[in-house]
Chain A
Amino acid sequence: MTAEQTARPPQRVSADDGGAAFAARLAAAPLARLALAYAVLVAVFAVTADHFLTTDNFLNIGRATAVFGIAALGLTVALIAGALDVSFGAVMSVCGIVAAERIAAGAGVVTAIAVALAVGVGLGLVNGALTAALRLDPLIVTLGTLSIFGGWAFLHTNGAPTPASSEAFAKVGRGETLGIPTPVVIMLGVAVVLAVLLRWTSFGQRCYLVGDNARAAALVGVRTAWVRAAALAISGATAALAGAVMVANAGVANAGEGERHLLNAIAAVVIGGTALSGGAGLIAGTVLGIAVLGTIDNGLNLLGVSSTWQDVLKGLIVIGALVLDRVRRRDP
C-alpha cells in the first residue's frame, strides 16, 4: 500500500512552502508536540499545586535536574551516533572521586575538573575502542564497562567516602552565577555547546549518518569507528562534568553515587525524542525531556505524592514516549 502511494506522482506543493504548510509541519514536529505537552504539564501543576509557579520553584527544578541533565546531554550525542552509552553512571562516580581526590590534594577547582574531564574522555575512548576492536554493540560494551568502572570506584575507595571540602569547589555545586544556580548554568552551557556541535559542524552531522546507517556511512567515506568513539568520548566528558558537579554539591564523593542517575538521564533523552536506534534526535529535545522529568518530580512533591509513585509514573512516561516514537516513525 505505501509503495503504491509513494510511486504516485506527488501532489503539487509549491517549492517554497506556504505559511499553512509550515504551520502543519511545525505541529507535526515531535519537538513542538513535546513543548506543548510540557506547557500542559506546567499548566496542570500551576492550577493544582501551591507555590508551583514561582521563580524560586523553577530554580529548584533546575537544581534537581542539573546533575543527570548534564550527563543526558552528552548521552544524546552518543545515542544519535548509534551508541547507547550506559556506562556514564559509573563514569560519573569515578570522575567524581577523581575530582574529590584532586581537591583533597590541594588542587584548584579548574585543575580538579580538568583532570576529571580528561579521565571521562579517556573512559569514553575506552568504550569506543572496545566497540570498534571487538565489533560489539556499544550497549553491550558499555554495560560491561558500567560494571568495570563502577567496580573500580569501589575497589579504589574501599567503599569509603572521599571528602571534597573546598569552599571554591562547593560553589560549583551550590553557588549561583548571575542569580542562577551554577549547575544549571553549566548544564545550559553544555547544551549550547553540544547543540552547536551537532548542528553546525560536519562531525555533528556525521554522528547522524553513523547512527542512521553505519554501513552506508562507511561507504560514503565516514570513519564510523572514529565518529562513534568521539561521540562516546563526549558522553564520557559530560558524565565527568556531571560527576564533578554532583560531588561539589554533596561535598563528598561516594562510589555508586553516579549510577543512581542512570535512569533519569536515559529517560530524559528518550522523552526528548532521540531514537534509541540512533540517527535522529536533538539537544533541544533532551533539554525538554530534562524539564519534563524535573517538573513531574517537583510538582508531585508539592502535591505530596510519594517518591515511589513518582518513579512509577516516570516509568510509564518513558514507555509512553517510546510508543509515541514508534508510532511517529511508522507514520510520519
Chain B
Amino acid sequence: MTPLLEAVGVVKTFPGVRALDGVDFELRAGEVHALLGENGAGKSTLMRIFAGDHAPDSGELRFDGRPVRLASPADALAHGVRLVAQERALVPTLSVAENVLLGRLPRRRGRVDWPAVRAAAAAPLARVGLDVDPGVELGLLRRDEQQLVEVAKALSDEGRVLILDEATASLSTSESERLFEVVRNLREHGVGIVYITHRVGELTAVADRVTVLRDGRRVGTSALAGTTRERLVEQMVGRKLAELYPRERPQPGEPRLCVEGLTADGMCSGVSLEVRAGEIVALFGLVGSGATEIPYAIAGDVAAHGHVEVRGRLGLVPADRRSEGLFPQATVGRNIGAASLDRYGPPGLYRRRRETAAARRQIAALDLRPPRPWAPVAKLSGGNQQKAVLGRWLERGADVLLLSEPTRGVDVGARAEIYRLLGELCAGGRSVLLASSDLDEVVGLADRVHVVSRGRVVAVLAGEDLRHERVLEAATR
C-alpha cells in the first residue's frame, strides 16, 4: 500500500542548529503514527514542514507516492494536511460554530449565511463526538471540549492528514481519554494521524506505530505492539527509565511540615498531611481536583484556614512558570536571586556582584545551561527555566519545597534532571511536597501519595500500595 504521506531524508537547518538531519517518516491512511521526542528533538520542525510552514533544505515529501513541494501552508492545506497546534488557535468570544469555520464562514450575497454556518459546523462537531450547541460562546466550554472544537475545525473540510501537536498537554486523564476516542474513530474513517507527544504513557491508548526522534535524527520506528515503554524512553533520552527517578532515599527525619484541616474556599477542604525531612510527599489529583492549588494554600498565597506548621523556611515553585514563576525580562541571575535580594548587601542596599556570585553557585549546583548568570532567562529551555525557579528557593535556603506541577512543559531529559535534583535535595535533608497531575511522576518519585479529589484527600498510599492503578482508581472514584 502506498503511504499517504512520506518524508525521505529531510534535512532542515536553522542558523546554528541542524534541526532535522536526514529524517525519514511514513504515514499510512487509517493509522495513528506517534512522533515521540524531547523538546528540541525536531518533532515540531518536521510537523511544520508537513504543514508547509518550513521548506526542507534537502530531502523529499511525497503524497500518495508523488513528490510534492509545499511552498506555503496553503499548499499543505490543499493536500489535506490539517494541523492542531499546541497553542490554541481559537477565539473564545466567538461561537463554537464560528470557530469551527473560522475564516471560511459560508456567505450568501456577500453576507454571512448564519443558518448555513450552524449547519456546516454540525457535521465536524458530530465527527469528533462533541454534543454542544454550536451557537454557544466557545469560552464557556470546558478545556477538553475546546480542544475537540480545535480538532473539529481541522476536520471541517477534506482533511486526510491530521497532525496533533501535544494535544493532551493541558488535558486531564479523563479529558485525554475522550480525545483518544475521537482519534481512534477518525482512524477508522481512513484519516492518517500524526500524534506528536513527549508523554510515553499515553501512546498505548492511541498509537499504532511510533517514531522516535532525538537530536534531529530518527532513532527508530516500531509497531507499538513490538516495543516497550522502557525502550521508548531509552530511545528518547538515550538512557534507561529506571534512571529517571532517584532510587536512594534517606531515612526520614523530623517532621518539617504539618498541615491539619486546611480549608480554602472552592479549592480544598480538610486537608491534613505531614512531610518529614528527607521525604517527598505527593498530592495527586486529576486536573480540576484542587491538588495543585493546595501548595498555594499552604504557602498562604490564598486565604485559607486550618493549621499549618513549618519548621524552617518554605519555598513555593508555582505551576505556571510563565505567569507565576519567571521574571521574563530579567537575567538568569536575577531569577535565582529574586527571593534573596535582602541578603546581597547591608540592610536596604543591594550589591549586584553578590547576587551574581550566588547565582553562579546555584547554576553550578543545578547544572543549569547556559551557565551564565547574565543570560536572559527567556532564552532558556523550559527545564532550565524551572531549574532557575527551583534554584531561587535553594538560594533562599528553603527547607521545605512546595512544588506545583514542576515538570509541566519540561522535556524528559530535563525532567530526569529535576527528579535527580529533588532526590539530592531530600538526601540533603530537605523536604518536598509535590502536587502533580502526572501519574508517572508521583508514583516514581514520592514516598507517600495523597490522592485528591474535589479538594479532599480521598486516599493516602505508600509502600506496596503505591502503584499506578491504585492511585488512579482512588483519584477517579
18 other A-B residue contacts (CB within 8 Å) besides A5-B17, A213-B326: A4-B17, A6-B380, A6-B381, A7-B39, A7-B411, A8-B40, A10-B370, A200-B345, A200-B351, A202-B345, A203-B348, A208-B330, A212-B329, A213-B324, A216-B324, A219-B316, A219-B318, A332-B378
* Assembled-state Cα–Cα distance A251/B316 (Å): 57
Residues of B close to A10: CB separation below 8 A: 369-370
* Assembled-state Cα–Cα distance A10/B332 (Å): 14
Within the complex, which residue of B44, B329, B350, B379 is in contact with A205, where a contact is CB–CB below 8 Å? B350
CB-CB nearest in chain A for B341: A202
CB contacts under 8 Å to B, within A1-41, are 1-11, 13, 15
Residues of A close to B16: CB separation below 8 A: 5, 11
* Assembled-state Cα–Cα distance A200/B350 (Å): 5
Instruction: Verify if B327 is at the interface (C-beta below 8 Å from A).
Output: yes
Q: Are A280 and B329 in contact (CB under 8 A)?
A: yes
Contacts from A to B (Cβ < 8 Å): 1-11, 13, 15, 199-206, 208-209, 212-213, 215-221, 275, 279-280, 329, 332
Instruction: Verify if B301 is at the interface (C-beta below 8 Å from A).
Output: yes
In the complex, how many angstroms separate the beta carbon of B412 from the nearest chain A beta carbon? 11
The size of the chain B interface, using a CB distance under 8 A, is 47
Residues of A close to B217: CB separation below 8 A: none
Between A and B, 9 residue pairs with Cβ closer than 8 Å are A1-B45, A2-B379, A3-B382, A4-B17, A4-B40, A9-B369, A213-B324, A218-B301, A279-B327
Residues of B close to A213: CB separation below 8 A: 323-324, 326-328
In the complex, how many angstroms separate the beta carbon of A227 from the nearest chain B beta carbon? 11
Residues of A close to B372: CB separation below 8 A: 13, 15
Q: Are B349 and A4 in contact (CB under 8 A)?
A: no
CB-CB nearest in chain B for A2: B379
In the complex, per-residue mask of B391-412: 1 if CB is within 8 Å of any chain A CB, else 0: 0100000000000000000010
CB-CB nearest in chain B for A210: B327
Q: Are A219 and B324 in contact (CB under 8 A)?
A: yes
CB-CB nearest in chain B for A211: B329
* Assembled-state Cα–Cα distance A171/B14 (Å): 63
CB-CB nearest in chain A for B363: A15
A contact face: mostly helix, strand, loop, or mixed: helix
How many contacts A-B (CB < 8 Å)? 112
* Assembled-state Cα–Cα distance A221/B393 (Å): 12
Residues of A close to B348: CB separation below 8 A: 201-203
Q: Are A3 and B40 in contact (CB under 8 A)?
A: yes
Within the complex, which residue of A1, A3, A221 is in contact with B381, where a contact is CB–CB below 8 Å? A3
Q: Are A202 and B350 in contact (CB under 8 A)?
A: yes
Residues of B close to A279: CB separation below 8 A: 327-330
Q: Which 5 residue pairs across A and B have the least CB separation, nearest first?
A: A7-B40, A10-B370, A220-B339, A212-B327, A7-B381
CB-CB nearest in chain A for B384: A6
Residues of B close to A6: CB separation below 8 A: 40, 379-381
Within the complex, which residue of A4, A200, A212 is in contact with B330, where a contact is CB–CB below 8 Å? A212
Instruction: Verify if B342 is at the interface (C-beta below 8 Å from A).
Output: yes
* Assembled-state Cα–Cα distance A3/B38 (Å): 11
Q: Are A216 and B325 in contact (CB under 8 A)?
A: yes
CB contacts under 8 Å to A, within B305-363, are 316, 318, 323-330, 334, 338-339, 341-342, 344-345, 348-352
* Assembled-state Cα–Cα distance A219/B324 (Å): 8
Given contacts A7-B381, A215-B324, contact A204 B350 (CB under 8 A): yes
Instruction: Verify if B371 is at the interface (C-beta below 8 Å from A).
Output: yes
* Assembled-state Cα–Cα distance A186/B388 (Å): 41
Instruction: Verify if B376 is at the interface (C-beta below 8 Å from A).
Output: yes
CB contacts under 8 Å to A, within B373-391, are 376, 378-382
Of A8, A200, A209, A219, most B-chain CB atoms within 10 Å: A219
Residues of A close to B42: CB separation below 8 A: 4
* Assembled-state Cα–Cα distance A6/B376 (Å): 11
In the complex, how many angstroms separate the beta carbon of B244 from the nearest chain A beta carbon? 18
Instruction: Verify if B34 is at the interface (C-beta below 8 Å from A).
Output: no
